[in-house]
Amino acid sequence: MSPLTTALISYWHRLPSETPAVRRKALDTTRERIRAGLESPAALVPFALGDVDDAIVIAATRDYVAAALDLRTATDEAIAEITDWVRRGLALNRGAVFGALLVLGEERIEQRLAGLRLTLSTSEVETACRAAGSATGRVATFVREWLQLLAEGAPQRECRALAALLDTRPSVRAA
C-alpha cells in the first residue's frame, strides 16, 4: 500500500469522530510543520482529498500547490497530478478542489479544468463557486465561457451559482 493510501485511510477513520474545528487545527499544525521543514507538502494531500469541509479542502489544496509547485516552472506532469484529483474523482469534495484550483489563475490548470467543468454535478458547481469566492481576470473569462456552454439545458442552480460568481444576474430561459 502506498504511503498516500495509508494516510488517507487513517484520515478517513478519524473523519467521523473529529469536528471540523479539530481537523482545521490539525491542518494548521501540519502547515506549521511544513513551513519548519519537518514535513513534506504531501502531508496536506489527505486534507485536500479526504475531507468534506469546504474550508479545509480549499486551504489544503491551495497550500499544497503553493508549497509543492512553483506554478511558473511546474511540469505538465505536476499540473496533471493536481487536476487529476478532480478528473478521477479522487477528492471527496471535488467542487472545493475545483474552485481552489480555478482561482490560482494558472493557464495550464485552467486548460485542464476546462475539460472537466461539465463533469461536475450541480452541487459541485455550487461548491466550486463558493470556493472561488469571486471571479476577476482570467477566472472571470473562464466562468463566462462556462456559462456560455451551459446556455441551453443546464440546471438553473448551476447558472445562478456561476452568474453570482461574476456578480451578474443570470439570464432567465423561457420555460
Question: Each residue of 94-135: pLDDT tens digit?
Answer: 999 999 999 988 888 999 999 999 899 989 999 998 888 777
Q: Is residue 60 part of a domain?
A: yes
pLDDT at 153: 67
pLDDT at 154: 63
Task: Spell 44-55 as b/e; 16+ CB within 10 A means b.
Answer: bbbbbbbbebbe
Q: Is residue 55 part of a domain?
A: yes
User: Comparing C-alpha atoms, which of 122, 123, 83 is closest to residue 101?
Assistant: 83
85 to 68, 98, 142, 169: CA distances (angstroms) = 15, 9, 19, 31
Q: Is residue 154 part of a domain?
A: yes
Residue 175 has pLDDT above 80, yes or no: no
Structurally, the chain folds into a number of domains equal to 1
Domain span holding position 98: 3-166
pTM tops 0.75, yes or no: yes
Q: Is residue 173 part of a domain?
A: no
Q: Is residue 174 part of a domain?
A: no
